Amino acid sequence: MTATSNILVPLDGSDLAEKAIDVAVDIAQPAGGAITLFVAAEPEAAQALYAYADSEEITRAMAADSYLDQVAGRIDDRGVPTTKTSSDGTNVAAEIVDRAEAENVSMIVMTSHGRSGVGRWLLGSVADKVARSATVPVVIVPSTGRG
């Protein structure tokens, strides 16, 4: 096993969160690693997931599954194996850290939503909380990063 054998990529259905995918693939590909896609979105942020569903009459979990299938297909086409999982989104930062431990990942790659100043102070930063709590390296892709 290499140092980057399994990378966790937390997603919330947004284009911004997906900016972490290319970085994760670039890290995993040469190392022969894999990517675990994890939908971790607070309920109000999870609305973006429903765009990937075939029907309006589905559960959040079904929307997350449909979204993950679509994203995993794009990554699989690049030769990197994926696994998929999701959560209920009640405490996103803690769920990401817990999932990283449960999946025995070697790294987390995620985006920052770009809050700074008062907005970050009031709302906190999921990426910041994950970086401070995780027991594995965390790569934070800035919101203005690759796309």
**Euclidean distance between CA atoms 24 and 7, whole angstroms:** 7
Domain-embedded: residue 60: yes
Domain-embedded: residue 10: yes
Task: Give me the tens of pLDDT residue by residue for the chain, a chain 147 residues long.
Answer: 445 679 999 998 888 889 999 999 999 988 889 999 998 876 666 666 666 665 666 777 788 888 899 999 999 999 999 999 888 767 889 999 999 999 999 999 998 865 554 444 434 588 889 999 999 999 999 876 444
| DSSP codes, the chain | --TTSEEEEEE-S-HHHHHHHHHHHHHHHHHT-EEEEEE---TTGGGGGGGG-S-SS--HHHHHHHHHHHHHHHHHTTT--EEEEE---SSHHHHHHHHHHHTT-SEEEEE-----HHHHHHH--HHHHHHHH-SS-EEEE-TTS--
Note the pLDDT of residue 78. Answer: 92
Note the pLDDT of residue 43. Answer: 62
Note the pLDDT of residue 67. Answer: 86
Domain-embedded: residue 116: yes
Q: Residue 12 sits in which domain range? A: 6-141
Note the pLDDT of residue 84. Answer: 92
Number of domains in the chain: 1
Domain-embedded: residue 32: yes
Domain-embedded: residue 1: no
Task: Residue 83: give its domain's CATH number.
Answer: 3.40.50.620
Identify whether the C-beta of residue 138 lies closer than 8 Å to the C-beta of residue 130: yes
Note the pLDDT of residue 90. Answer: 74
Domain-embedded: residue 24: yes
Domain-embedded: residue 146: no
Domain-embedded: residue 20: yes
